[in-house]
């Protein structure tokens, strides 16, 4: 059963097909719990039935306080509803939708309301109806659909976290990740959980935040796949980049970011040798409380990102901590000499000292180099005139 309040200065309300209102209401499972003949009375009825009313229907022509209008075009009651009641009870996220059901010609009504935009809410929500063309049943169908939408978990969540979703709209796919994550609270915690499916999407939010900040030149060119470098920059631990804007990210959020990255990095993999074994912890405890923790940190990071890109910083936010003489992706070559294969790793003209964990395609910054006593020899082009870089003189991120 849906409960509605009907405000109309005409108490003998029948729809266009002359079917009695009572029959229409009964067929739709709708009950009128209160009526009002002016805007102030409507406000009182809403307050009295606030915990029970599902929707409100109003007319275009009724007064604010019950006095007979001097002008037949008087829409003061409608205006009061739009500028007062709608802002309190019918705004985005509120639980009570309003429908406008009037016998006035809509074109004429739009002309009267043009300056004040009184019809905008009803048009946007498709809750504007003409009594001469639309039956009461049609109005009720539309209101019931709006009521059911408001009752869905998705709607409640989006409006409970309205600011967070507004911030998430600036990051690709972040809204879907948030809604899926928050809706997961409605599921049974005892179900089998794949930790990678939970934590990996959250980590990608931070990676996309980094891409956005780099595009705005607010952070150094740290590859988004190396999010730990982002934390090191923010915490002042980065060997190459220096944070100049001390209040760039609040200290509690920097601390939260470290926790977020540790958990999501570990939780995004199922390797048994991972130090935190997040996947094992989640599976054994059969709950997603840890996931909820990093999910809320992601929401805070989205809010911070939105605020940051909208802020005009007075000074540069970062600088080079050490002079960098070269940078680029690590390339691989090999040379066969005396039946032995030698590995050679390069960043542009710089040959890197070989070591086990070097990865082709990783991005490296060169701080210092020296003469290469054994440059790579190519039979077709001669000897490459490269500079040799010791392990302590280049930095991979």
Q: What is the mean pLDDT of residues 258-274?
A: 78
Decide the pairing of beta strands 350-352 and 340-347.
antiparallel
* 340-348 contacts at long range (C-beta below 8 A, 24 or more positions apart): 344/376, 346/386, 347/389, 347/394
Answer yes or no: are the C-beta atoms of 118 and 81 closer than 8 Å: no
Q: Is 33 within 8 Å of 2 (Cβ atoms)?
A: no
Q: 346 pLDDT exceeds 80?
A: yes
Question: Above 90 in pLDDT, residue 209?
Answer: yes
Identify the weakest region by mean pLDDT among 179-183, 190-194, 277-281: 190-194
- Using alpha carbons, select from 4, 323, 233, 43 the residue that is nearest to residue 139: 4
pLDDT of residue 193: 67
Region 36-53: what's the mean pLDDT? Answer: 88
End-to-end CA distance of the chain: 61
Between 257 and 378, the higher pLDDT residue = 257
**Taking 70 as the threshold, does the pLDDT of residue 268 lie above it?**
no
* 378, pLDDT greater than 70: no
Across the chain, what does the average pLDDT equal?
Answer: 81
Return the pLDDT at 338.
45
What percent of the chain has pLDDT above 90? 25
What confidence score (pLDDT) does residue 257 get? 97
pLDDT of residue 189 exceeding 60: no
Q: Give yes or no for residue 325 having a pLDDT over 70.
A: yes
- 178, 181, 184, 189 alpha-carbon torsion, rounded to 10°: -160
pLDDT at 68 over 80: no
The model's pLDDT over 160-185, given as tens digits with 9 standing for 90+, comes to 898 999 999 999 999 999 998 998 86
What's the angle, vertex CA 300, arms to CA 293 and CA 198, rounded to 5?
40
Contact 7/59 with Cβ under 8 angstroms? yes
- Summarised one tens digit per residue, pLDDT across range 89-134 is 876 545 789 998 888 777 777 776 665 577 888 888 888 888 888 8
Strand order in the sheet with 2-7: 30-36, 2-7, 55-58, 98-102, 128-130
How much is the pLDDT for 115? 52
Q: Between 21 and 280, whose confidence is greater?
A: 280
29: alpha, beta or left? (left if phi > 0; alpha if psi -120 to 50): left
State residue 292's pLDDT score: 92
Report the predicted TM-score, pTM, of the whole model to 2 decimal places: 0.66
Q: What is the DSSP letter of 391?
A: G
Task: For the chain, give the longest Cα–Cα distance.
Answer: 107
Higher pLDDT residue, 165 or 394? 165
pLDDT, average across residues 272-286: 76
Cα separation of 70 and 77, whole Å?
13
Cα atoms in the 13 Å half-sphere on the side-chain side of 332: 10
């Amino acid at each position: 059963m849906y409960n509605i309040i009907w405000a109309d200065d005409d108490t003998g309300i029948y729809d266009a097909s002359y079917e009695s209102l009572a029959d229409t209401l009964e067929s739709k499972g709708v009950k009128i719990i209160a009526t009002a003949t002016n805007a102030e009375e409507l406000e009182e009825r809403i307050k009295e039935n606030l915990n029970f009313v599902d929707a409100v229907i109003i007319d275009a022509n009724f007064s604010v306080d019950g006095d007979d209008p001097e002008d037949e075009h008087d829409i003061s009651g409608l205006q009061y509803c739009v500028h007062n009641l709608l802002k309190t009870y019918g705004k985005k996220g509120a639980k009570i939708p309003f429908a406008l059901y009037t016998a006035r010609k809509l074109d004429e009504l739009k002309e009267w309301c043009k300056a004040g935009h009184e019809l905008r809410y009803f048009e946007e929500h498709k809750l504007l109806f003409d009594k001469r063309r639309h039956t009461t049943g049609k109005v009720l169908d539309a209101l019931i659909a709006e009521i059911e939408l408001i009752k869905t978990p998705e709607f409640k969540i989006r409006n409970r976290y309205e600011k967070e979703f507004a911030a998430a709209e600036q990051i690709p796919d972040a809204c879907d990740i948030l809604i899926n994550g928050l809706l997961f609270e409605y599921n049974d915690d005892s179900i089998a959980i794949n930790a990678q499916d939970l934590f990996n999407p959250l980590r990608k939010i931070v990676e996309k935040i980094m891409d956005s900040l780099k595009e705005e030149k607010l952070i150094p060119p740290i590859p988004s796949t190396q999010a730990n470098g982002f934390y090191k920059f923010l915490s002042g631990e980065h060997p190459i980049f220096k944070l100049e804007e001390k209040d760039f990210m609040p200290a509690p959020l920097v601390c939260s970011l470290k926790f977020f990255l540790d958990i999501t990095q570990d939780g995004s993999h199922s390797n048994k040798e991972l130090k935190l074994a997040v996947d094992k912890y989640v599976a054994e405890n059969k709950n997603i409380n840890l996931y909820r923790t990093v999910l809320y940190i992601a929401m805070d990071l989205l809010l911070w990102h939105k605020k940051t890109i909208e802020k005009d910083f007075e000074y540069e936010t970062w600088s080079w901590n050490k002079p960098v003489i070269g940078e680029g992706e690590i390339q691989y070559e090999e040379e066969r000499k005396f039946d032995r294969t030698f590995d050679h790793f390069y960043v542009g003209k710089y040959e890197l000292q070989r070591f086990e964990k070097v990865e082709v395609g990783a991005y490296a910054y060169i701080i210092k180099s020296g003469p290469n006593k054994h440059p790579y020899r190519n039979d077709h082009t001669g000897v490459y005139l490269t500079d040799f870089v010791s392990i302590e003189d280049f930095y991979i991120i």
